[in-house]
Amino acid sequence: MNDHINLILAVSVILLGLAQGETWVVSQNESIQEKIDMASPGDTILVEDGRDPYRENVDVNKPLTLRGVGLPVVDGGRNGSSITLSADGIVVEGFVSTNYSRGRSPEEAAGVKIYSNNNKIRNITIYNDGAGTGIVLNGSMNNSVEANNVSHNRFGILILRGQGNYIQGNNATNNGLGIKLQDSGNNTIEGNNASFNADYGISLERSQYNTLRKNVMNENGRSFEAAGLNYIDTSNRIDGGAIYYLVLAANMTIDSTSEDAAVVYCLSCSNITIKEQVFDETGYGIRLYNTANSMIADNVLNNKNSIELHESEKNTVGGNHIIGHSDADGIHLNRSRNNSIEGNNISDGSGGISLVRSEGNTIEDNIIVKNEKGGVILQESSYNTIKRNVVSLDNGEGGVYLEGSHNNTVTENNASYNDIGIHLSSSLENNISENDGSYNHVSGIFIEESNKNIIKDNNASHNDWCGIKIEGSGENRIEANNASYNGNGLLFESSNGNTISRNIASHNVEYGIRLYASYGNNIAGNDASYNNLAGIKLVDSQENGIADNFLHGNGVNGLALMNCVRSSVAGNVANNNPACGITLINSMNNNLTDNGASNNSDGIALCDSSSNLIKNNTASYNRIGVYLYQSNLNELKDNYINKNEVGVSFNSSENNTVDDNFTGDNKYDVLIDNDTYFGHCIREESGYTKGETSVEIPITHTAPVDTTVYTGGVPGDGRTKIGKGVPYQPPSERTTEATSPAQPSSEDYQKMAEKALGMVGWDPPREMIVRHKYKINVTLGEDRERLAGYLEEEYAIYQKVNLSPKCVYEVNLTGDNFDISLKEGLAQQMYIPDEEELPKWVWEVTPTKGGNQTLKLVVNYQEKSNIGEPAWATKKRLDEWPVTVTVEEKTASDYLNDGKNFIKKYWQWLATVLIIPIVKWWMGKRRSLKKEKPGPTQDMAGTSKGPSTERPPGPGGGET
């Protein structure tokens, strides 16, 4: 072996000597650097291979040729670069370079580090232990890097701020990144193998005017990325597929007839179609930069591929299947406008569809499941429409997630089975409507630090924590949502000035609606019934309005205010709650007016609450109508308190004003400081159990009373009028109310309340024809099977609602392009549980215009104002349900074609059932007529003349 090396050295010395400069030989145990320092520019240094590496950091600082014979090893000792080129015009070839610095900066050290220009680096094997850089060109120009093997580095070959370099025939494999250009231009990357790298095979970052030809990239983490005006042709391959890098292209199609694509880049292009391609390779699938009016359709993108649009507009991305995009969003838009993203299927990736600083885009009819970051994600993006998408099943931050995004419309999406269905953060003036945010692990809809949004007509039910959560947010409209069967219905925390109206918040594990540390909110017209604790509860809140809510059958209280001040509670109906209809705890300066509280344990109860006004309320059929415990300076005025066990009870309460209240048929009108009532439960936190009966009223007990003279009322009017200091009257001494209408008992109302949960059923057809008449049925009831008997089964729609036997229901059918008339049923009808016939409405509907039209069913209800009064309350909206109908507009030729198609399709049936029987009948009739007709040889008298011997005339009258 040594003889062989000596022969090579001898020949090399002779040849080099014949060329130019002096030749130096470095043997084992000698220093390469010492010979470089001794040599002159233009000299050649030959380095022998030996048993041991050359353990030094070699700096070639003059134009020399440094050639290894037999691949000698240069070991940098983890201290800087193994070989450094710091002068121009150097040739280095035939070495192994290893064990250089592990510094994190790619500029610190390398196997071969080049600071200079016009150098050649050939046939060098460079490897490390996964750190450092193999070959780095830092600010260098016109270098040739050829036929090197670079592996197990953080970067294989790295060009920083380099120009005019030629990188050819290298193997850059098993690195973190194979070949990277950064801030570099006019370089040629040709015929290299950049495979098996953890990240990109080849990456061009902020680099333009480079040429890439015939490079191979196989089984890399992401294989390839580039941007800018580079010259990259389809001879570059990724796992066998071609790289399409289109610059300033127009009117071009890449489809199933084209060469298989690995990636497609479009830069400043227009009218490009990319369809029916399969992207199985690792890396970016399709990327558009500054591209317009193009289509990406019906492609399959597996593994880490995705679709990106940067600063692009008016493109369509539709019908693509994107699976397993673990390092990127399935479809990503950055600063892009007016694009349509529709009908894509995106799953098992990082994010589904994301928009960053993008406006005016439509995200519609996509199926997006199991994406770690979220389904549809908007960041600082406005005026976009997100519609009819399925963003379901474990999409991280939310099915739809808006951050810092304004004026977007999010409608008709299915956002279920995620952590959060729809999530808004720091986002303003968005419209969130008609979405299904159900069965999520946390919340159906979560609004945080977001103002002036509309949250309307959404289904936020069956969520583990809450249906709708509003935190640190103000001036939002939360309207007509279904927030039922959740942990909590609607939760508000530190949120002010919101409108919460016409929501259904029922059957929740804790509360229907709960506000904490919130002020200036308007809570009106909601149904917060059948919740396990309270229907509505406010804690540490002030100046809120709670009006016209229905609070029925909750586990403890209908409405509870705790530590609340200056709130208005008006027009609410709180019935059948086993503790209190309405209760105030440690609350001051609140107004309770025009409320109804019936069939509760306590109708209205105050605990540790002072300076409140209780006026014009009705408290009937309760154990106690109005109950005050340790509550002072309150005013009770003009309340209607009748048919309770006890009308008004005061315990440890002083200086309250009681004026012009009406009582009737209470067992006890007033009890004061009756020990039986001390500690009566009005807080759900105190361990109240539904159905508990902790109050018993002794018949013989009379409480001490103030005997101040009675100051109002008309004697003999049939009612006891409680003024300040009215003496107690036992029932035997009171006049009963003869003129009051008969009322159901508490047990009757309880039985009817158990039937209150029901449904609306209707059967609008989904397809209609202009000017054809159709019948649409509507009915109410508690049982779906019963409703089905009134409806067309094919089209039936069922909506769960709360039905009350105290209400009349008005059902209206509307539509802009329909003639609609009620043919059967009264305008207003009552729902009565267990009635033999259900209320029914039948409309005749005739569409007047073709296209997609909307029919809307609107159900209003009107409730009896208060028990014992004949008047009805103001009509209210129960709910409304729109349905889209496809209306076909047919011409005469359409009907003719329909007839032809019918005959063509059913000719056998027509022949068997119609034509053949008609023909048979006609033939039989003809035979019958023939028998009855006189024969040709009979005269008028019926005698036969025999056969005729005359011949008929020939043509033209002549003889034949």
Q: List pLDDT tens digits, range 154-201.
A: 899 999 999 999 999 999 999 989 999 999 999 999 999 999 988 889
pLDDT-based confidence at residue 708 (cuts at 50, 70, 90): very low
Same domain, 693 and 758: no
Q: Does the structure show a pLDDT above 70 at 655? A: yes
Same domain, 660 and 782: no
* Span of 150-159, 266-275, 339-348, 949-958 with lowest mean pLDDT: 949-958
- Whether residue 679 is contained in a domain is answered as yes
Same domain, 685 and 774: no
Q: Are 399 and 421 in contact (CB under 8 A)?
A: yes
pLDDT tens digits, one per residue of 915-927 = 667 766 767 766 6
Q: Does the structure show a pLDDT above 70 at 654? A: yes
Q: Are 236 and 210 in contact (CB under 8 A)?
A: no
Give the residue-averaged pLDDT of 32-50: 91
> Domain of 795?
754-888
Report the sign of the C-alpha dihedral through residues 173, 175, 177, 180, in that order: negative
d(C-alpha 725, C-alpha 658), whole Å: 8
Nearest to residue 740, comparing CAs of 717, 713, 712, 723? 717
pLDDT tens digits, one per residue of 617-626 = 999 999 999 9
Nearest to residue 147, comparing CAs of 174, 173, 170, 126? 170
pLDDT-based confidence at residue 740 (cuts at 50, 70, 90): very low
Structure token digits, residue 235: 């001879």
Same domain, 692 and 784: no
Query: Which CATH number fits the domain that encloses residue 689?
Result: 2.160.20.10
Q: Are 883 and 797 in contact (CB under 8 A)?
A: yes
Neighbours of 714 (CB within 10 A): 8
The count of structural domains within the chain is 3
Of 668, 699, 733, the residue at which a domain comes to its end is: 733
Same domain, 57 and 193: yes
Bridge partners of residue 356, in order along the sequence: 334, 379
Same domain, 845 and 799: yes
Q: Are 313 and 290 in contact (CB under 8 A)?
A: no
Q: Are 428 and 451 in contact (CB under 8 A)?
A: yes
d(C-alpha 409, C-alpha 385), whole Å: 5
Q: Give residue 900's identity as a one-letter amino acid code.
A: K
Structure token digits, residue 220: 């890399």
Same domain, 58 and 127: yes
Q: Which residue has the higher pLDDT, 320 or 679?
A: 320
pLDDT tens digits, one per residue of 568-579 = 999 999 999 999
pLDDT-based confidence at residue 452 (cuts at 50, 70, 90): very high
- Whether residue 799 is contained in a domain is answered as yes
So what's the pLDDT on residue 871? 46
Helix (H) or strand (E) holding 878: strand 876-888
So what's the pLDDT on residue 425? 96
- Whether residue 335 is contained in a domain is answered as no
Same domain, 783 and 660: no
So what's the pLDDT on residue 939? 40
Same domain, 64 and 196: yes
Nearest to residue 386, comparing CAs of 370, 371, 374, 402? 402
pLDDT-based confidence at residue 103 (cuts at 50, 70, 90): low
Bridge partners of residue 172, in order along the sequence: 150
* Span of 233-242, 286-295, 665-674, 727-736 with lowest mean pLDDT: 727-736
Same domain, 160 and 190: yes
pLDDT-based confidence at residue 880 (cuts at 50, 70, 90): confident
Q: Does the structure show a pLDDT above 60 at 700? A: no
* Span of 123-137, 399-413, 463-477, 785-799 with lowest mean pLDDT: 785-799
Same domain, 763 and 711: no
d(C-alpha 535, C-alpha 554), whole Å: 6
d(C-alpha 131, C-alpha 150), whole Å: 12
Of 888, 910, 945, the residue at which a domain comes to its end is: 888
pLDDT tens digits, one per residue of 505-563 = 999 999 999 999 999 999 999 999 999 999 999 999 999 999 999 999 999 999 999 99
CA count, 13 A, side-chain hemisphere, 60: 30
Neighbours of 403 (CB within 10 A): 19
- Whether residue 351 is contained in a domain is answered as no
Of 199, 218, 238, the residue at which a domain comes to its end is: 238
Q: Are 565 and 544 in contact (CB under 8 A)?
A: no
Q: Quick one: what percent of the chain has pLDDT higher than 70? A: 79
- Whether residue 545 is contained in a domain is answered as no
- Whether residue 61 is contained in a domain is answered as yes
- Whether residue 423 is contained in a domain is answered as no
Same domain, 74 and 128: yes
Q: Quick one: what percent of the chain has pLDDT higher than 90? A: 54
Report the SS3 class of residue 566: coil
* Span of 178-182, 274-278, 385-389, 735-739 with lowest mean pLDDT: 735-739
Nearest to residue 399, comparing CAs of 357, 425, 371? 371
- Whether residue 164 is contained in a domain is answered as yes
Query: Which CATH number fits the domain that encloses residue 825?
Result: 2.60.40.10
Q: Does the structure show a pLDDT above 80 at 216? A: yes
Average pLDDT value for the chain: 82
